[in-house]
Amino acid sequence: MESLYEKVKFVEGENFVTIEDTGLLTDEELQSLAGKFVRDAKYDGVRNRTILVPSNFQEETVIYIKDLGFKHHDEVYFVRCELAELDPIDTERLSFEMVSLRDGEEGVFKETWRRAMEGSLNAPQSLNMDEQMKSVKKELGQGYVDTCLTAYENGTPIGVVMPHIEPGTKDEGRIFYFGLVPEERGKNKSAPLYKEGLHLLQSIFHATYSVGATSVHNKPMLKVFEKCGCAVTERVGIYKYSK
């Protein structure tokens, strides 16, 4: 049974654990994995337990997982972007200044991140902002100060971009979170800002590709992915344990 744990990826943070990369398991293996996950005493004190279930699994496996106590939380698209194929940034039109926690204040970053999550079309987060920050620090280690970027325009914080190398890999880039504060949305700033995050993944973090994800209901973010050359790779259900 322990070998099943080795076939998937565990992402652990402050008060949560998520199982990813289940797509190569058989239906029987995923059912066994979910059962083991539920019964594992190691995670008894963890408030949020989540398992990702790609759309290729049979309905009976989804029913089995639900019967264990998992509830459907959201449906997301995963995308991939080959960073060598990125269009160059128009530096003459670029007006964003990126300030990391190495140079900026954590309070400003946290408040901007909190506001960037307001009205999100993704499923609501179950962690508060302090827990979110603790999770970033736990998952990324000391490098979190270079990942947490506040985007400024004309001296005003307008959003956050959080590029990093996925732990356990050498060249898989991810953007932990990306978003604009409410009053800056709908002004054609999302795609340029996200593209700058992708360029940072390539130039500063030395990623060769980027993996992203968003809710199937988040049409604006899907358009941002498309404008930045990201291609959909799979559709995945998110199931959270609720017993």
CATH number, position 176: 3.40.630.30
In this prediction, residue 198 carries a pLDDT of 96
What the block records as the tokens of 26 is: 């058989």
CA distance 201 to 30: 32
Question: 140 lies in which domain range?
Answer: 81-232
CA distance 223 to 235: 16
Q: 28 φ, ψ to 5°?
A: -65, -40
Residues 62 and 87 in one domain: no
Q: Maximum CA pair distance of the chain? A: 56
Q: 91 φ, ψ to 5°?
A: -65, -25
Type of residue numbered 221 = M
pLDDT one-digit tens code per residue, 56-113 = 999 999 999 999 999 999 999 999 999 999 988 766 566 789 999 999 899 999 999 9
> Concatenated DSSP letters for 100-132?
ETTTS-HHHHHHHHHHHTTT-SSPPPSS-HHHH
pLDDT one-digit tens code per residue, 110-158 = 999 999 999 887 767 767 888 889 889 988 889 999 999 999 999 999 9
CA distance 47 to 65: 18
CA distance 190 to 220: 9
pLDDT one-digit tens code per residue, 21-63 = 999 999 999 999 999 999 999 998 888 999 999 999 999 999 9
Q: Choose the final residue of a domain: 69, 103, 124.
A: 69
Residues 132 and 191 in one domain: yes
